[in-house]
Amino acid sequence: MRVGVYKIPMNDPADVSALRGLIEAGEVDPRLIVASIGKTEGNGGANDFTRALATLSFSRLLGDYLDLRPEEVQERVAFVWSGGCEGVISPHATFFTRDDSVTGTPTAGGGLALSVQRTRAFLPEEVGRMPEVQEVASATRRALAELEIVDPRDVHYVQVKGPLLTPARIRDAERRGATVVTTDPNRSKAYARGATALGVALALGEVQADQVSDATIANDLNLFTSVASTSAGGELVSCEVLVFANSPRSSSPFRIGHALLRDAVDAAGVRSALQSAGLSFADVPSAEQRGRIAAIFAKAEAPPGGQLRGWRTTMLSDADINYERHARAAVGAVIASVTGDPAIFVSGGTEHQGPPGQAPIAAIVATE
């Protein structure tokens, strides 16, 4: 297996010109694209439609090459977008190709491997509850099997994108006499992100089956995975699970690593992720090493109680700018200050993703 990593700039959420350029130049084979992860310049909230525009635009482009309708492309390619380019974060997308026909020399120590899995569709009353935990765990296990991963420590990043409860879905459940985990659509995001994160944790052995129940989801935050980044959107009914690992089967010229960000200004955590992915440096990566960083994926969160290293931040009391926007601005700038590159994936909401107040960060680095 060989996984390709292509980070492209976007001039607006509908700008597919950079990917078209790579395809036209023969650098990217559109038939091999399996997923993308990117940032769009919306507000990141419930009324952020830049994600939908980007998905539609890229699936139209690929549909032209593959002779498929956009909706068919979306069944084949997992598009993951996070809205909100606060601070220096640059709108961009990282496209992933996977070529199973390549059977070259495996990368020493294992090369980057990627498996994309989907769960079955969920009923509204299953969202944010144990059925979602179990199905995500199964999907993650399928990915591990497909990638022939035996040691879960070879998994460094699992991106999960799943459903939340929309007003329409809540009404559907109520019509059938079923009860949902919450009737507040915004609050359902926490349960949905939490359940899918616990599913990953279960599959990777980070928590045990008897520790997890409906009551622990979005509640007992001492249960967590250190490698998952999960999001919830109104457009989905099933979950898409992207498992990134270093696999002995892979001949990709990339490796992936991860670390935890202790808080929103933890430059040392950023450096740890780069080192985990294979860059050797003491305090500051060299220019050559910076050039080998292919992609960074991080979560951002307001500090507990709004207190950062003993000082009050205003994230949680600001009625003009949502706290996730403040947190992404900070984390994005700190990462860019280490890597020298503001095209970073930073998204918000960390339930069961790292210890309370901390957040996972993954880095993909070229092996040479």
Interface contacts to a copy of itself, rule CB under 8 A: 9, 11-14, 41-50, 52-53, 56-57, 85-92, 167, 264-268, 282-284, 305, 308-309, 311-315, 317-322, 325-327, 329-334, 336-338, 340-343
Residue 29 or 184 having the CB closest to a copy of itself:
184
- To a copy of itself, the closest distance from the beta carbon of 279 in angstroms equals 14
Tokens at residue 301, please? 């969160």
Active site residue 161: yes
Active site residue 231: yes
Cβ 193 to a copy of itself shortest distance, Å: 17
Cβ–Cβ under 8 Å, residues 255 and 364: yes
Q: Which is nearer to a copy of itself, 46 or 121 (CB)?
A: 46
Q: Considering the complex, what minimum distance in angstroms separates the CB of residue 332 from a copy of itself?
A: 7
**Is the Cβ of residue 37 or residue 201 nearer to a copy of itself in the bound state?**
37
- Residue 245's nearest CA partner among 206, 277, 199 is 277
In the complex, minimum distance from the CB of residue 295 to a copy of itself, in angstroms, rounded to a whole number: 13
Strand partners, 202: none
Instruction: Using the minimum distance from each CB to a copy of itself, give the nearer residue, 185 or 248.
Output: 185
Residues 6+ apart with CB under 8 A from 44: 82, 83, 84, 322, 324, 325, 328, 348
Whether the CB-CB separation of 28 and 36 falls below 8 Å is answered with: no
Shortest distance, position 36 Cβ to a copy of itself, whole Å: 17
Nearest approach, Cβ of 213 to a copy of itself (angstroms)? 23
Candidate list 57, 231, 250, 251, residue with the active-site label: 231
Catalytic residue of the set 7, 39, 161, 299: 161
Q: Among residues 126 and 341, whose Cβ is nearest to a copy of itself?
A: 341
Query: Cβ closer to a copy of itself: 42 or 354?
Result: 42
User: Which residue numbers are catalytic?
Assistant: 161, 231
